[in-house]
Structure 1
Amino acid sequence: MRQLIFQEYVTVDGYAADADGEASFFGTIGEHEAEDRATFERIDTMLLGAETYRLFAGVWPTLEHPIAPLLNALRKVVVSTTLEDTPWGSHEPATVVRDLDAVRALKAEDGKDIILWGSISLFHSLLAAGLVDEIELRVCPVLLGVGRPVFSSQQLGLELIEARPWGETGVLQRFRPTGSAAHR
């Protein structure tokens, strides 16, 4: 079975975006293209929520960036109950699925792993449903104090898989969810 990996840039205090929804702190970690390329070697599908789809589809299809061709070539799946059309510039459009059962089916398919970028609300739903296999946090050396937290108040056990320096100034933390107190 394919693994579903949630990968997110976060601040040291656990925020994925500031109070205005911006994530300008991404640039604080320096260069990490080699590690991004390694991620693309293990994935073939990108899972997105509707809001992150709109953001990504408005930027990545025409962005001149070293990883843009790799990202644009991925199979793109959007979990949404409202979107009908999901174009991706001149590339293959994304596929829309309506529920978490479709994500379960996606995980059961043959192929490489699946990555979830952004899409915090979808991440919370997938985590509660036990569908997230790995959480990779790319911790940026910034404290925001307020903003959009990566985690909800749901209790969750995590097993540390890896922790190491990442980029020029960041830290990479990888965890495996081990369950929540509410589900035991």
Structure 2
Amino acid sequence: MKPSKGGRSMGKLIVEQIVSADGYAAEPDGGIGFFESDVTGINEADGDQLRMLESVRAIVLGRTTYRMFADYWPDADPAVEPVAVPINTIPKYVVSNTLDDAPWGRHAPAQVLHGDGVDSVRALQSRIDGDLVVWGSLTLTEALMRAGEVDVLRLRIVPRLIGAGRSFAPHDLGQRELVLEHSKTYPRGFVVLQYRFT
């Protein structure tokens, strides 16, 4: 737990990325089709996702990831996608200087955070009693990693090689030490790894 300026401890900032077995979080054109197939076994990890989300009090997204999420999750069937319930009910924030509002279907809209992404997330974290999770949002994730703001890195690795694409970490990050906190493998080769930044 990080101390805030007011002395109150803050929750963790969790970055979670779905990546190919060769480490890419997006295809060369920015697409994410590499993990949208039942072949990957990604839904087998829903229980692990629900446990992680128990401590999460805010979801933070960049503009592009927000649009992908808002197109899918508000109408997702909880019987098929159990994580739809927390995704649709946990307060959401979108870091963007171009959006004025961020509707979320029939659910409460996300709030838009304008200004510098790192500063916006720091300010949000100082007033949220619990953990924050950033999903996807590669530009924001890179900025948070460069600034040393990320406490936990969760990698959800699909058993597929794509050969080229965009990494979830900035190319100029340098070396950062990680401590493995949790690992879980699933029958079809999907793996969840959770690391803590030292």
Report the TM-score, using the length of structure 2 for normalisation.
Answer: 0.83
Runs of 4+ in 1 over 6 A off after TM superposition: none
Pick which of 22-31 and 41-50 moved more: 22-31
Q: Output the CA distance in 1 between the equivalents of 2:89 and 2:182.
A: 29
Percent identity over the alignment is: 39
* Number of the residue aligned with 1:29: 41
Aligned letter for 1:160?
A: V
Question: How many residue pairs were aligned?
Answer: 178
Pick which of 25-34 and 39-48 moved more: 25-34
* Number of the residue aligned with 1:182: none
Quick check: 2:146–2:170 contact (8 Å CA) kept in 1?
Answer: no
Quick check: 1:5–1:134 contact (8 Å CA) kept in 2?
Answer: yes
- Where do 1:57-96 residues align within 5 Å? 57-64=70-77, 65-96=81-112
Q: Output the CA distance in 2 between the equivalents of 1:158 and 1:80.
A: 30
Q: Output the CA distance in 2 between the equivalents of 1:157 and 1:63.
A: 37
* Number of the residue aligned with 1:150: 168
What are the Cα deviations for residues 52-105 of structure 1, in whole angstroms up to 9, with x where unaligned?
A: 111111111111122212110011011111110111111111111122222111
Report how far residue 138 of structure 1 moved: 1.0
Pick which of 14-23 and 86-95 moved more: 14-23
* Number of the residue aligned with 1:107: 125
Quick check: 1:162–1:172 contact (8 Å CA) kept in 2?
Answer: no
* Number of the residue aligned with 1:175: 195
Report the TM-score, using the length of structure 1 for normalisation.
Answer: 0.89
Which residue of the other structure, out of 159, 162, 179, is the alignment partner of 1:160?
179
Which residue of the other structure, out of 108, 128, 145, is the alignment partner of 2:146?
128
Report how far residue 124 of structure 1 moved: 0.3
* Number of the residue aligned with 1:116: 134
Quick check: 2:57–2:128 contact (8 Å CA) kept in 1?
Answer: no
Unaligned runs of 5+ in 1: 179-184
Q: Output the CA distance in 2 between the equivalents of 1:43 and 1:135.
A: 14
